Every structure is written in C-alpha cells, then in structure tokens.
Chain A
C-alpha cells in the first residue's frame, strides 16, 4: 500500500521532466532593462519564444558596463535550466570566463548586437555590420555635399571601443577618404576631419563636444555622430550658433526618436539596425538546438538600412515611414 504514493511522485516527476524537455529554456541578457533598444530586443525574443513554445528568461546588468550583473544573471539562468544564452556583452572581455564556464556545461551562447573580444568566445554572433552602417552614411554624406570640399567633425563614442571605431572608419571609407579597415580599432584621421571629439553616445556630452569643435573649426559642413542622441546634441549646438542650415548630420541607430529627427530635418540620414531581428533569430537558434542538438556558428549580419528623408541619386535609401515602422522606442 505504501508503494503507491511513491510511484505517484515518481510518475509526476517524470511528467515534469518530460514537460521541461519539451519546452526549451532560453535566457536573454541585455545591457540594461530600460534602454528602448533592449526593450525592443526583449519584445522580439518574447514573441519568438511564444510562437515556438519556448520559455524565455530575461535579465540585465544594472547599467551599461555592469559585467558582474550579467554574470549573475547568466549563472541564475543556467541553474534554471537554460540551454541557450543570448547576451549583449556589456564588457566584451570581462564576460568571457563566465561564457567559457557556461559552454563547458553544454550551453550554447550567442552574442547579440556586439561581439565578445575575441569574437569566437561565443558560439555565434547576430549583429549589425557596424562598418557597413558607417559606409552607408558616408556614401550618403558624399552625395549630399555634392562635390563641395568636406570639413568633417566626428563625434565618436569613447576611446578603444570596437563599435565606435568600425562606424567611424566605415563612414570615412564610404565617403571615399583614407580610412582603416573593419578590423582596425584605431580611428582614422584624414586631413578632411577637422575635429574629433568623444560624445559617449550622450546628448549633453555630444552638445558640449560639438560646441568645442565649432570653436576649433567654425566652417564645418559635415558631422558624423556615433548615435542619434549625440546627433541631437550636435544639432542643438549648431542651432545655438546659427549654423544648423549649412551642415549635414549623419548618424547610426534607427531608434524612433532618431528616425523622427530624420523626418524633422535634424539628421540627414541614419543607418538603422534591427534589435528585434537579432533576438528573434537567437530564440529560433535556441529552439533548434534544444530539438536537434545542432548549434549555430559564426557571424550573421542582421542587416542595416539607410533611412533618409531626401533620397539622393546613386545612394539607395528608404524613407522615414519605413524607418518608423521598424524603429524601437515610442513612435
């Protein structure tokens, strides 16, 4: 008689196990919870997980650069049974030991949005080609200037960040100036670049950097910015100096605020990237791994599109409406 309850428990446990096995668990770790880019990414992962019957766990660091928070989130997710981890590394080097430990336990780790350093520390990378994003706005800027000699200000990220270097060098390459290749982390500085300053991707710091550059080079006619908040800051500085009309601003990101600024004539063109797609592809790969045990590998370009209000001859671009449909943040 006493055997029965035990059997029942075993049967229940087995059922639970079967349930767990049929539903793959996937962990998504973003840099922060609040940045609209990552909110969009989480949205993409949630939708894909729902469609494929996977269970999604999500976590984030406290702020950009919080490596320890990401490590903790990863450990907790693996303890909760995640067999695939999707992560946007806050610190491309410091996260590697934790990733290595996870992969030794048979967990597939995919980097989203930005690579680890070295990139092969993860199984795969789903991200924007940042060099190409730069090339596209460089080509647009070249056409927008229409043969006028360029006096360029670059508002970069901060020293030593590969994404900052790729966008900067890609932009110069696209413009047709002497530049570095996609693997080089040094910022190229041809003679046409009259001022280089760091914006930290921040609106107020971008404004300050642009003001100082205007002191150095009052006759600037082209501004490259690392992202759209920096571009908005640069525009504000130009407007205060009464120079916003004669200067072309180009940027990278494609957030809704940035696309709206393209429509309003603040930014001439921006290269839009696709966080939703990165996450959806990541979840698909995780479900496939749970079913067949087949891992994805290498780098997958999640695409980048040039968004411009004014199409120019010889440069392929999409209009503001298309950009707004695909943007992240409040429309």
Chain B
C-alpha cells in the first residue's frame, strides 16, 4: 500500500502546478512581455543550477534526510573544474570529471557519516557546508577563475526552437529530471529510496540493504551537484568562489514547493522542477512589473508554509 501511495497525485503534488499556473496567469495579465517563448527559455536558464541541485536534494529528502552542503559543494566543484583546467592545463573533459568526482566524494563523506556513525544529516551537512566553503575560498584565494575552456561553457549556449532560443543546459536539466523520475518510478532501486524514507526499520526487515541505499543516495546527490557546477560555469562563464551560498535553501525551497514531504517517503521529483520554476517565474514576473525583489522573498516564504501545511494535513488524513 505504502509503496503505491506515492504514485497517486494527492493535492500536495498538484499544488505546485496550481501555484505555477496562478503565477503565470497573473503575470500574463499584468505585463505584456511575460508570455513569450524567449522569456520562458530565460526563466529555465535562470533556474537550471538550482534545478539540478534540487534533484540531489529531492533524493536525500525522500529518505527523510536533508542536505545543507549542496550549494557550497556545487561552488567547490565549479572552482575545481575551472582551476584544474586553467592552472594545470588538464583537458576540459577531464577537468569537468575532476569537479564531479570532488562533489561526489563530498556526497560519499556525507553518506558515510550518516550511515556508519549515524549522525543526523542536518548536522553532518552543516559541517560539510562549512568545510566546502573554506576549501573553495582557500583553493581559489577568493579569486574568480576567468580562463575557462570553451567546452565548459557550451551548455550555456542556445539553439533555435520554435522561434525562440533554448539553452542546451536547460535541455540537460529536463533530461536529468525525466531520467530520475523514471528511475524512482520504475526500478527496484528507485522504490527502495521511497521505502527507506517511509519506514527504514520495515525496509531493513524485508531484506533491503537500507544503509547501502542511503549511502548511494548521498553519492548520487553529490554527482548531481557536480553537474550543477558545470551548469553554473556554463551560465556565468567563470568559476565563482562566491557562488553557492544561498543555493542550499533555494534547493530545499524548490523541493518543498514541489510537494515532496520533509518527513521522507513521499513526493515526486518532477515537482521539484516545478518548484524551482515557480521561484524563477516570481523573480522574473515581479521584475517585469517593476516590483522590488523583497516581494519575491515574501511570496516564496508564504508558498513554502502553504506547501508544508498541505503535506502535513494530507499526511494526517491518510492515517
């Protein structure tokens, strides 16, 4: 029963789509430039870094964990890949790989501390958040890396599609979402992720290696942060040591807005994409209206509380 529940579309999972729809209709009615292919393409580009981080974050939250280190790990990954290429002359594909390996290693450390020493994910990732920040600053000397190989910015480029230009990075983001959605829905390993979040004890008793599932979730999340590192480099054209400081909360916001339960075991990864897009739409639409960015923060805060309330109430009703 439990394993089936996440496939049904309860209100918590329709919520983000409704919020997105309302925001789009509102901005479409109040500004004349909102509804255009170009503008939507832009919003997707603006959310692609947080969007891909949110994939990793969703996996971890589905196991009833949380990852505060994600944004800083992403920043470290982008510094590693750009600096390894610029300073050591390593070919771009290898440098990109080096960055992703570093972020996956951070995932491994998080995962080992959570599974082996049984530390709470919140504290573990708070620690690695600080460690990743410090390493980023020390390794980069707080200097932006501006010599970036062309290959690393390729994903920031665009191709024409139906009269507007779509960035390769946003296509990659959507493909990653579809891949993870399929993985969670159709594979045994994917269903184990839900099971671990739902009831770890029962999951262990039916013979699923819960610790190993958890460990791989953290490593996989780390790898997604590495892909986000590449997207960040592609988008800004540099390795920025000051990036990533707010992305952890931005990613958690996207996941929560997307209807995934912070208590674990319930949610849909595609919701996180919608959650990230909602925040991007608010920022874009309010700028078009000429309204201060404080209101975006205000509305986002209200939506988060609404999303968590809906989740809590539907959870209570399900009992």
Q: Do A and B bind each other?
A: yes
Contact (Cβ within 8 A) B141 A330:
yes
- The stretch from B100-108, B201-209, B239-247 touching chain A is B239-247
Contact (A329, B143) CB under 8 Å given A211-B46, A212-B287, A215-B33:
yes
Q: Hey, which chain B residues are within 8 Å of A202, CB to CB?
A: 242-243
Say if the beta carbon of B220 comes within 8 Å of chain A.
Answer: no
Contact (Cβ within 8 A) A36 B142:
yes
Contact (Cβ within 8 A) A204 B232:
yes
Q: Which residue of A lies closest to B241 (CB)?
A: A34
Say if the beta carbon of A246 comes within 8 Å of chain B.
Answer: no
Contact (Cβ within 8 A) A39 B142:
yes
Q: What interface size band does chain B fall in?
A: 20 to 34
- The stretch from A88-96, A143-151, A191-199, A292-300 touching chain B is A191-199
Say if the beta carbon of B236 comes within 8 Å of chain A.
Answer: yes
Say if the beta carbon of B146 comes within 8 Å of chain A.
Answer: yes
Contact (A198, B39) CB under 8 Å given A36-B143, A208-B46:
no
Contact (Cβ within 8 A) B39 A159:
no
Contact (Cβ within 8 A) B290 A195:
yes
Contact (Cβ within 8 A) A198 B293:
yes
Contact (Cβ within 8 A) B235 A198:
no
Docked CA distance A216–B36 (Å): 12
Q: Hey, which chain A residues are within 8 Å of B245, CB to CB?
A: 63
Contact with A along B25-66 (1 / 0, CB 8 A): 000000101000011001001100100000000000000000
Q: Which residue of A lies closest to B165 (CB)?
A: A240
Q: Which residue of B lies closest to A36 (CB)?
A: B142
Q: Hey, which chain A residues are within 8 Å of B144, CB to CB?
A: 203, 229, 257
Most B CB contacts (10 A, CB to CB) among A63, A212, A229 go to A212
Partner-A contacts on B (CB < 8 A) = 31, 33, 38-39, 42, 45-46, 49, 137, 141-144, 146, 156, 158, 232, 235-238, 240-243, 245, 283-284, 287-288, 290, 292-294
Ordered nearest first, which 9 A-B pairs have the shortest CB separation?
A212-B287, A34-B142, A198-B293, A34-B137, A208-B46, A216-B288, A330-B143, A212-B284, A197-B287
21 contacts between A and B (CB under 8 A): A34-B137, A63-B245, A158-B293, A198-B292, A198-B293, A204-B232, A204-B236, A207-B235, A208-B46, A208-B283, A211-B42, A212-B42, A212-B288, A215-B33, A215-B38, A215-B288, A232-B238, A257-B143, A257-B146, A330-B141, A330-B143
